[in-house]
Structure 1
């Protein structure tokens, strides 16, 4: 099989396609013939050596996959089943590959309503949003939810999940993304390049922060008493957590992990027609470096996907 590996950290040019032996599934695992691979900004940071989550190269990046079961050492799936998921995160899943071995519990049957490309784009962003809004914040009917970065990968999915839970959803986004975010159901969209969100909203029950910087700290001013900040980017900021606690507010950091319950929840929303994922662009497997150049540029609208 072919895999995309790197022998050193650096720019997109360090990613190379090479031949490698196929993995062998352990008991409770399945072998998946990959059809599409979702790309995430984290992978560009790992490629560049910004932090050593996977240790030193050589390694194979990637977690988001969609494909077809080729061999099953579990009762949960059979050969021929179409599946998708985010196996093993944060350990290496080596998903930039034509074949991946994955724990069956980290996968779900692909909804018929999604193509392999769309399904591969969903797991990391969908699980992050679900775990933040459902598992941590318990968003419910009538809550006022503010999603920072509503046009991004996590953000546009979070807007839809919050709406499906019955919330009134406000999102921040740049002016060029306002209509894009409204198209996913946001009740209000604040152009953060023109308006300070702390002047525009009040009495928020839950803030989901996907931006970082000073956004999480400034969000303290828009939460109602007892309100809850969930951040996907400042989860280890003890000083910020202490500020929220001192103000009588809740602070939670979300570091996404494989979650079969949440994955089935995402499938349910897709099947109800309440959730879709926007794929900005697809790239063939061999053009992974071009895809990573877009990841490096940042400010993406939706997701990028490799096709295999």
Structure 2
């Protein structure tokens, strides 16, 4: 038997329960991973909050929880090459990652059902934060294609996706201005962004910071950054959202991240070029407290569950 977080009804953190379940078996083309850490994302609780949303993700009851995982290959199914028991790995397992074991396809090409080797120099907690947020940030930046000479406005820059988006844009050579609350300013500076407070007057504050203009914008929260970017003359083709639909503006989906995105992120972490701040880690028994903190939307960095 193995421990796993499950829910028998859709709802908030109060429906999350740790229970004993049978250990899953790896079928043909699959690997079983003994999970050591699972990273939380806003989508984890958004897609399990109600039955209609869950159905759009193909979830039914009883459901698991969490998608990002890291651990060690425990069993390989028939026909699997490239992985062996004992290999350190990470990836995504849609709404079932907070568990002692997950079974995923060894091909590693489908978002939220994938496995990748964890490079030396990347610890399991960090590896367990990469799949959802890293894919989403990479997909969004593929739309914007930032480079030297660009000034990129990132709205909601201190959140889980923002951690990656800010640093990846900086690695690409762009200047980054990141919106956030007053208490996130220091955190944003550490990531390499120039902080600016969100809310009324944002356009004027950004214009003061960047009198030469903003050339691209990424809205990670709603539509405020989209509106500001338009007021600053940024063309719709260089604006992207992840949490809202705006006519004329691309909406990024982590499933559409460029091939090899997660392996490249892991290499950047191993090389010390990309840092993933871990805001807090919780034992699996405290899953409700961890999910409540994640749902509060004021976390600077990532929250990880230890298994």
Q: Structure 1-normalised TM-score?
A: 0.87
- Match in the other structure for 2:305: 306
- Match in the other structure for 2:197: 191
- Match in the other structure for 1:248: none
Task: Give the 4+ runs in structure 1 shifted more than 3 A.
Answer: 223-227
- Match in the other structure for 1:267: 266
**What is the CA–CA distance in structure 2 between the aligned matches of 1:51 and 1:65, rounded to whole Å?**
22
User: How far 1:132 sits from its partner (Å)?
Assistant: 1.1
| Higher mean displacement: 26-35 or 206-215 | 206-215
Q: Secondary structure at the match of 1:273?
A: coil
Q: Is the 8 A contact 1:132 1:208 kept in 2?
A: yes
Among 107, 110, 114, the alignment partner of 2:122 is: 114
**What is the CA–CA distance in structure 2 between the aligned matches of 1:255 and 1:99, rounded to whole Å?**
27
Query: 1:71 aligned to 2:71?
Result: no
Among 212, 216, 219, the alignment partner of 1:206 is: 216
**What is the CA–CA distance in structure 2 between the aligned matches of 1:197 and 1:126, rounded to whole Å?**
28
**Superposed CA offset, 1:55-90 (max 9, x none):** 442211211000001112321211111111124xxx
- Runs of at least 5 residues in structure 2 that lack an aligned partner in the other structure: 109-113
Q: Is the 8 A contact 1:34 1:99 kept in 2?
A: yes
Residues 77-96 of structure 1: pairs in structure 2 closer than 5 A: 77-87=83-93, 92-96=94-98
| Higher mean displacement: 168-177 or 19-28 | 19-28
User: How far 1:11 sits from its partner (Å)?
Assistant: 2.8
- Runs of at least 5 residues in structure 1 that lack an aligned partner in the other structure: 243-250
Among 246, 252, 258, the alignment partner of 1:254 is: 252
Q: Is the 8 A contact 2:153 2:218 kept in 1?
A: yes
Query: 1:153 aligned to 2:160?
Result: yes
User: How far 1:290 sits from its partner (Å)?
Assistant: 0.8
- Match in the other structure for 1:45: 46
**What is the CA–CA distance in structure 2 between the aligned matches of 1:258 and 1:111, rounded to whole Å?**
23
**What is the CA–CA distance in structure 1 between the aligned matches of 2:203 and 2:302, rounded to whole Å?**
25
**What is the CA–CA distance in structure 2 between the aligned matches of 1:72 and 1:95, rounded to whole Å?**
18
User: How far 1:22 sits from its partner (Å)?
Assistant: 1.8
- Match in the other structure for 1:162: 169
- Match in the other structure for 2:111: none
How many residue pairs are counted as aligned between the two chains?
290
User: How far 1:296 sits from its partner (Å)?
Assistant: 2.5
Query: 1:13 aligned to 2:14?
Result: yes
**Superposed CA offset, 1:241-266 (max 9, x none):** 24xxxxxxxx2111212855101120
User: How far 1:48 sits from its partner (Å)?
Assistant: 2.4
